[in-house]
Amino acid sequence: PPPPVVKPTPCTISDGACIQLSTNQTWVLRGDKIAYGPVPITHGRRGYETPLGNFPVLRKVKDEWSRPYNGPMPWSTYFTQSGIAFHEGSLTEPSHGCIHLDRASAQYYFTNLAIGESVQVVA
């Protein structure tokens, strides 16, 4: 029999962003191939967990400010109705649900993920 096909990420989507919470990693996929990543992330702390599932990119705001948590969210790429986004942030402190990226990665996600594209979050 042919050898099993090994997926390059834990996600089932072939285009968009894949987030794996247990390893604190994310990738951008294009045609089942890794276009970018893995890059390190931090995600939601206890009580503010990043939700699992498949989400569409909803909107992008370059110079965002979090009103609930009174802090900057540069390069925000939102993917939930409740306001969870990829954005530049601390890679040591967990978030209130958002996916923190370093500046270069946050800019890449902001630039390369289109509205409506898939974001898949797995454990």
Q: What is the residue-wise DSSP string for 69-88? A: TTEEEEEEEE-STT--EEEE
Work out the percent of the chain whose per-residue pLDDT is above 70.
Answer: 96
Per-residue CA distances from 51 to 30, 75, 107 (Å):
23, 20, 23
Is there a domain that residue 113 lies in?
Answer: yes
Confidence of residue 5 (pLDDT cuts 50, 70, 90): low
Residue of 109, 87, 120, 110 whose CA lies nearest to 36: 109
The three-state secondary structure class of 103 is helix
CB neighbourhood size of 31 (10 A): 7
Q: How many domains does the chain have?
A: 1
Return the pLDDT at 1. Answer: 76
Is there a domain that residue 11 lies in?
Answer: no
For residue range 100-121, list pLDDT tens digits in order.
999 999 999 999 999 999 999 9
Give the ranges where 1-123 is alpha helix by DSSP (H). 103-112
CB neighbourhood size of 4 (10 A): 6
Return the pLDDT at 29. Answer: 96
Domain with residue 55: its CATH number is 2.40.440.10
Q: What is the mean pLDDT of the chain?
A: 95
Residue 51's domain comprises 16-122
Residue of 43, 22, 23, 27 whose CA lies nearest to 118: 27
Is there a domain that residue 5 lies in?
Answer: no
Q: At residue 72, does pLDDT exceed 70? A: yes
Is there a domain that residue 112 lies in?
Answer: yes
CB neighbourhood size of 67 (10 A): 8
For residue range 51-64, list pLDDT tens digits in order.
999 999 999 999 99
